[in-house]
Amino acid sequence: MLALTSTSIAWLLFVIILGGWVVYALLNLRQAHDELGSEVEMAANRRPYYDDEELEGPRLTRVLGVGVVLLVIIVIGLPLYWILEPSRLAGATDAKEEQFIEWGSNLFAPTADGGFNCAGCHGGMNGGGGAAPYNLTDPATGEVTAVSWAAPAVNTIFYRFSEDEVRFILVYGRPFSPMSPWGLDGGGPMNDQQIDTLISYMRSIQIPREDCGEGEDDPLSCPSGHLPTSIQDDIDALALASVEDGTYGSYGEALYNLDLSSGAYSCARCHTPGWSWGDPGVTGQGGFGWNLRGGKAASAFPNQSDMVDFIANGSVLGQKYGIQGQGSGRMPGFGSLLTEAQLEAIVEYVRSL
């Protein structure tokens, strides 16, 4: 805002100064005309100049006065510029970010609005989770079935993945799912700039975090904040209700299978085949995520608390986890979505599979 006003003030000054020069030039030209043809009498060295009286009198005072005024402008103007410049820079950064968000929202928009239809599958412009029509081909029989594939909420995507991991998902998509590659490197239609603006847009629609740490004043990006307690309470209530009505045998099992906002918070959508299209196979047998059955998860993490840590932080590309796991960055972190107690309960359950 401040930056914008100082820009307009600068333009105004520029126009005034420019106007002044034009007027000065025109006047000078006219005077020059008057002298044409009278060089002999008017030769500069013959023209009488001001006498001392006048030279050192009011004229000198006037010239010095102008000098003082210009000096004052410099003395005040330079520090003022120095003071205003940082906020001008900040203003420019904010303005660019706003522009990115707007460009990103144009890409995110439904096909009917000229976008790439992220909104169509992911539950509208706020990305709250939706469903995608998809044709499954049975590898054995070749039979094609039309299914509706749960598309996870993306308004919590930065709770689960780092920015690089989100970029990877956007560029390369999710193989064998309705989420196609969007980046040029993955064979999609978007250049790096477009992927960046989509990321800016998705940042702008994140559910604001709670309990940001000291000095972390931006609830959209503070690393220590977590999902609002009210949503964690909803997760709790949903899990407890499905234990109560006998759908699941334990709190941990219910959390593993959670169907909140199309399963953005659950494990089943990646670790149980068929879960995403409402036809779950054997729990934990693996799909996009590894097979967790037969004590596999427990033997990968002999120490139970290491497994809780892994699930809280997710995997990181190129980083080892557990006994000999090699992270790809595709396993999300749940530490700022779920509470410690919820994570413990899930781990308890997964180790029993």
Interface with ligand HEC (CB under 6 A): 116-118, 120-122, 132, 149, 151-152, 154, 157, 160, 166, 169-170, 174, 177-179, 182, 198, 264, 267, 269-271, 276, 288-290, 292, 296-297, 300, 307, 311, 315, 322, 325, 327-328, 330-332, 334, 346, 350
User: Measured from the CB of residue 7, what is the shortest distance to ligand HEC in angstroms?
Assistant: 34
CB closer to ligand HEC, 84 vs 300: 300
CB closer to ligand HEC, 235 vs 264: 264
CB closer to ligand HEC, 91 vs 120: 120
CB closer to ligand HEC, 3 vs 199: 199
Phi-psi region of 262 (alpha: psi -120 to 50; beta: other; left: phi over 0): left
Phi-psi region of 184 (alpha: psi -120 to 50; beta: other; left: phi over 0): alpha
CB closer to ligand HEC, 3 vs 118: 118
User: Measured from the CB of residue 217, what is the shortest distance to ligand HEC in angstroms?
Assistant: 26
User: Measured from the CB of residue 212, what is the shortest distance to ligand HEC in angstroms?
Assistant: 22
Tokens of 76: 């005040």
User: Measured from the CB of residue 6, what is the shortest distance to ligand HEC in angstroms?
Assistant: 37
Contacts of 344 by beta carbon, 8 Å cutoff, 6+ apart: 308
**Whole-number Å distance between alpha carbons of 332 and 271:** 12
**Whole-number Å distance between alpha carbons of 173 and 164:** 13
Burial of residue 237 (number of CB atoms within 10 Å: 0-12, 13-18, 19+): exposed
User: Measured from the CB of residue 312, what is the shortest distance to ligand HEC in angstroms?
Assistant: 9
